């Protein structure tokens, strides 16, 4: 068997023209141009690329983006003051603080300072709690994008065995919760799990999100399984790659996402979807 390669760029393109650009235009016509505020602290190279791509995607789809760039030495209190300003600004519908933050800044405290109705990243404790209760206002963008992939590719989740590898607040934990909500039987593993293959071999769905190059290899995958690669790493030649050995797993899986061009574009698309939803909510 060779897996069907899920083209996240193509799926995103369709969603952006069907579900984002039209709604953005309608909001603008009603006098509520959707606007996202992005905050980047420090000079993490990967974060700079992600933020640039998020802003470009906003601008290409009729959303406005404003970005604050701060040096790594930024004082936490000053960041909290800026978030308070953005919370009160009615022209701003979504606020995103790019992670990671420098170690002297408490990311939990910063995210908790964002008004939950503007937390388009879905990372505020209120939105995380609401996700747990099955009623999220915003779903975190990467797991939301993965759920969209399952929907658009007609991958059944009810009763499926799903293994999520990774336990971060941004991906692993919310991913597991969304899969549970969809009726899957979910096991949460991590890069530290003993004999990871024992778990993955019985899974119809594997989501890898640890940031470990070549963590998931062909011998660990059940034939026909759907393998979603959320990792973004560099291999020994400096090439962008995920957590999954794509060449090997492609021969065994039923569906597979590539890196790049799989989950990445879907994450940005769901950020746009969440920002539009926040603007629609504000517009009443």
Which residue ranges make up the site for ligand GUN (CB under 6 A)? 96-99, 121, 141-142, 170, 267
- CB-neighbour burial class of residue 239 (10 A; exposed 0-12, middle 13-18, buried 19+): exposed
Tell me if residue 14 falls in helix, strand or coil.
Answer: helix
Report the phi/psi class of residue 42: left, alpha or beta, with left for phi > 0 and alpha for psi in -120 to 50.
Answer: left
Strand order in the sheet with 64-70: 64-70, 35-41, 94-97
| Least Cβ distance, residue 142 to ligand GUN (angstroms) | 5
The least distance separating ligand GUN from the CB of residue 71, rounded to whole angstroms, comes to 18
**Which of residues 51 and 282 has its CB atom nearest to ligand GUN in the complex?**
51
165 forms bridges with which residues in the sheet? 189, 208
Nearer to ligand GUN, 218 or 277 (CB): 277
- Active-site annotation, residues: 54, 98, 121
What's the closest the beta carbon of residue 228 comes to ligand GUN, in angstroms?
15
Pairwise CA distance, residues 154 & 161, whole Å: 16
Rounded Cα distance between 47 and 55, Å, is: 12
Closer residue to ligand GUN (CB): 98 or 200: 98
Task: Give the nearer residue to ligand GUN in terms of CB position, either 254 or 264.
Answer: 264
Least CB distance from residue 284 to ligand GUN, whole Å? 27
Shortest CA distance to 219 belongs to which of 211, 209, 227, 228? 227
For tokens 């004999």, the residue is: 195
- Which residue number has the CB closest to ligand GUN? 99
């Amino acid at each position: 068997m060779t897996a069907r390669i899920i083209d996240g760029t193509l799926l995103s393109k369709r969603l952006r023209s069907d579900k984002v650009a039209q709604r953005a235009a309608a909001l603008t016509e009603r006098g509520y141009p959707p606007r996202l505020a992005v905050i980047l602290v420090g000079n993490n190279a990967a974060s700079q690329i992600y933020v640039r791509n998020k802003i470009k995607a906003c601008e290409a789809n009729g959303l406005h983006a404003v970005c604050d760039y701060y040096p790594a030495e930024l004082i936490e209190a000053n960041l909290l003051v800026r978030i308070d300003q953005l919370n009160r600004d009615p022209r701003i519908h979504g606020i995103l603080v790019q992670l990671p933050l420098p170690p002297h800044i408490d990311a939990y405290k910063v995210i908790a300072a964002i008004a939950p109705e503007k937390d388009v990243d879905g990372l505020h404790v209120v939105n995380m709690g609401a996700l747990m209760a099955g009623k999220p206002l915003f779903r975190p963008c990467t797991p939301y994008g993965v759920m969209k992939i399952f929907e658009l590719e007609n991958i059944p989740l009810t009763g499926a065995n799903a293994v999520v590898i990774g336990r971060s607040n941004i991906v692993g934990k919310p991913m597991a919760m969304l899969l549970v909500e969809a009726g899957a039987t979910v096991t949460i593993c991590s890069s530290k799990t003993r004999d990871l293959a024992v778990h993955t071999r019985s899974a119809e769905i594997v989501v890898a999100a640890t940031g470990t190059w070549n963590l998931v290899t062909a011998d660990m995958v059940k034939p026909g399984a759907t393998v979603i690669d959320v990792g973004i790493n560099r291999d020994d030649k400096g090439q962008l790659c995920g957590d999954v050995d794509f060449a090997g797993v492609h021969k065994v899986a039923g569906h597979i996402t590539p890196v790049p061009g799989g989950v990445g574009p879907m994450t940005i698309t769901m950020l746009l979807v969440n920002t539009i939803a926040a603007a629609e909510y504000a517009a009443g």
